[in-house]
């Protein structure tokens, strides 16, 4: 379990970076899975990172597509950015990652949180993935630990472990921008679910309070948006201050027990995402499809009566 507050070292990084180190963020929104992919770059050096990319997948046909990923590749090339990182906030259960495909075009290092090994263990067993599926995170180029700092060009950044939605969720704070994955959603929508295997509403609350201890003007970039009653447009950017004041699930004053009761009750009413099975099988492999069988074809499995 992570320390519930931002460490002193992290605060130093964050204080240093919020003044003049302002990264540029461009978001690509997938209206099929409601996922926001963010391309963040340092305007001084053009160093860039892509966070949570999406590969299209038609489950009825078993067909993949890269239209959105191609748009992102085109954007990176058009702006002459140097891709250094492909960052995943977690093993997504609602869309397939396009990170390996983008990496083939643009290079960069593929990274996720170090606790991916726990998720690989859970899903490796569920999908009976066999001994050829390594459960050591080796499908990724780098595994981030809580509090680990790095640079995006001239902009300081830090990785924070924010478990709850899954055991391995990470947030990446780059300059004044935090990419927080499935923790908080827009203030009018609330928070991510915590009922997937390894999920934990209590841990989610603590992770969220940790994120909300960042400076109030920190920009927050979300992984998803589903609109909210009364809102007609998709949105994926807010601030720590706005979440603390207005988040319908977890604004300042909502206690841990109150949140856990709300979150658990709400999760019991939610159905599983349509792309859960393909997403998890692909994303636990760093976005690579399962290995081909003897006939040269790759398959997605569906475990029966298990989830």
Task: Measure Cα distances from 45 to 48, 108, 214, 269, 303 in Å.
Answer: 9, 15, 26, 47, 47
Q: How far is the CB of 93 from Fe ion (least distance, A)?
A: 5
Q: How far is the CB of 156 from Fe ion (least distance, A)?
A: 27
**Closer to Fe ion at the Cβ: 42 or 182?**
182
Gap between the terminal Cα atoms of the chain = 25
**Half-sphere exposure of residue 221, counting CA atoms within 13 Å on the CB side?**
27
Q: How many chain residues are in contact with Fe ion, going by CB under 5 A? A: 2
**Closer to Fe ion at the Cβ: 152 or 201?**
201
**Closer to Fe ion at the Cβ: 18 or 196?**
196
Q: Measured between alpha carbons, how far is 73 from 5 in angstroms, rounded to an integer?
A: 36
Q: How far is the CB of 182 from Fe ion (least distance, A)?
A: 4
The stretch near Fe ion (CB under 5 A) out of 86-94, 110-118, 273-281, 299-307 is 86-94
Instruction: Give the CB-nearest residue to Fe ion.
Output: 182
The stretch near Fe ion (CB under 5 A) out of 15-23, 79-87, 89-97, 241-249 is 89-97
**Closer to Fe ion at the Cβ: 41 or 224?**
224
**Closer to Fe ion at the Cβ: 148 or 182?**
182
Q: How far is the CB of 94 from Fe ion (least distance, A)?
A: 6
**Closer to Fe ion at the Cβ: 76 or 117?**
117
Interface with Fe ion, residue 115, by CB under 5 A: no
- Residue from 21, 41, 92, 95 touching Fe ion (CB under 5 A): that is 92
Task: Measure Cα distances from 239 to 58, 148, 159, 161 in Å.
Answer: 34, 23, 18, 19
Q: How far is the CB of 279 from Fe ion (least distance, A)?
A: 9
Q: What are phi and psi of 74, to 5 degrees?
A: -60, -40
- Report residue 20 as tokens: 């003049």
**DSSP classification of residue 224:** B
CA angle 89, 95, 99 (to 5 degrees): 60
Q: How far is the CB of 290 from Fe ion (least distance, A)?
A: 20
**DSSP classification of residue 228:** B
What lies within 8 Å, CB to CB, of 47 at 6+ separation is: 41, 81, 82, 84, 151, 152, 153, 154, 155
In the region spanning residues 160 to 189, those forming contacts with Fe ion, defined by CB under 5 A, are 182
**DSSP classification of residue 239:** E
**Closer to Fe ion at the Cβ: 92 or 210?**
92
Q: How far is the CB of 207 from Fe ion (least distance, A)?
A: 13
For binding to Fe ion (CB under 5 A), which residues are involved? 92, 182
């Amino acid at each position: 379990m992570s320390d519930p507050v931002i460490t002193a070292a992290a605060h130093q990084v964050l204080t240093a970076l919020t003044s003049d180190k302002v990264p540029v963020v461009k978001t690509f929104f997938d209206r099929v899975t409601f996922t926001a992919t963010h391309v963040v770059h340092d305007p001084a050096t053009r160093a860039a990172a892509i966070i949570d990319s999406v590969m299209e997948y038609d489950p009825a046909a078993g067909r993949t597509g890269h239209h959105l990923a191609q748009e992102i590749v085109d954007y990176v090339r058009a702006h002459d950015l140097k891709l250094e990182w492909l960052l995943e906030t977690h093993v997504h259960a609602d869309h397939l990652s396009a990170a390996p495909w983008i990496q083939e075009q643009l290079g960069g290092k593929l990274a996720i949180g170090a606790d991916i090994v726990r998720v690989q263990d859970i899903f490796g067993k569920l999908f009976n993935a066999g001994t050829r599926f390594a459960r050591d995170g080796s499908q990724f180029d780098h595994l981030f630990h809580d509090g680990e700092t790095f640079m995006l060009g001239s902009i300081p950044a830090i990785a924070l472990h924010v478990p709850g939605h899954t055991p391995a969720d990470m947030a990446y704070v780059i300059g004044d921008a935090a990419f927080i994955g499935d923790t908080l959603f827009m203030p009018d929508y609330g928070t991510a679910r915590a009922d997937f295997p390894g999920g934990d509403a209590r841990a989610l609350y603590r992770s969220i309070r940790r994120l909300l201890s960042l400076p109030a003007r920190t920009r927050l970039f979300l992984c998803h948006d589903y609109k909210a009653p009364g809102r007609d447009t998709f949105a994926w950017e807010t601030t720590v201050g706005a979440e603390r004041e207005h988040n319908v699930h977890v604004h300042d004053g909502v206690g841990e027990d109150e949140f856990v009761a709300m979150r658990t009750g709400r999760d019991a009413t939610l159905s599983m995402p349509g792309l859960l099975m393909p997403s998890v099988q692909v994303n636990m492999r760093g976005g690579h499809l399962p290995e081909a069988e003897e006939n040269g074809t790759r398959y997605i499995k569906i475990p029966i009566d298990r989830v």
